[in-house]
Amino acid sequence: MWDYLTAPALLVVIGASITAVSSFALPDGKSRKALVFLGTALSIAGGFWASGQQAISQHENQQKSEEIVQAQKDLKLKSEEIVELNKQIVAAVTGGDSFAYIRLVFIGRADTTPRLTLIHQGKYPLYELDYRIVDLVKMEKENKHYSLDDLTKDQKNIGNIGPNQARVLDTVQIGSEPIRWNLFFGARNGFFVELLRMRRVGDEWKTAIRVDSRPTSGEEAKTLFKLVEPGYPLGKDGQVDWQ
């Protein structure tokens, strides 16, 4: 019992006891009044003391609660930082969401052998990159069925390429007819396809490029990159004909 009796409570008990004893055991007089006053004062002082201790205790408990909440927030933040760091490590090893596309680069307007130039896009390197080109105009002209072997025999290996780099792969001979290429890329981080469309406008070539992801796990394909040069011929709907 005494373990739970605090000093303020003890003071209240003493004051109440003095008041009770003096009220019932002593005759009226100055001594009785003085003892009643003393007992009452002690009880009031004990009450204030207890109230003050309770307020301090509540303040300390609030501080501890706030410290616990802050510690939990800090722990969550650290966990999120670790998760993000792990994602960055994985992305640095696999290539993350980086991709690349190819465009034809001309040296002068009369150039008929443009450079086949690979351009990297993204924060992370691309590893084990390869590509193949499907010439839709050529396929339509030849009007024959292409097997999977036909489509994959021209697969070309690029290797690794760092962020924001460009690389000249080859030169190609072109005429004046429109270019409609579908380029299929594979890398450590997945697959993506580029639609390269080029049209001759006056004495200049105008280019439109779209790069789409090719998910293999049931996810929806999404457009990763789009470039339409000013002056590229558009359809009646004001859009590029990607067919």
**Residue ranges per structural domain of the chain:** 2-93, 99-228
Q: What pLDDT is recorded for position 66?
A: 83
The architecture in CATH of the region 99-228 reads Sandwich (2.60)
| Rounded distance between C-alpha atoms, residue 128 and residue 49, angstroms | 77
Consecutive 10-residue runs of the chain (243 residues): their mean pLDDT?
Answer: 61 68 62 68 75 77 83 83 84 90 89 93 95 90 68 82 94 91 94 95 93 82 94 93 91
The residue type found at 176 is S
User: Residue 161: which of 138, 197, 130, 133 has the closest Cα?
Assistant: 130
Q: How many helices (H) and strands (E) does the chain have?
A: 4, 9
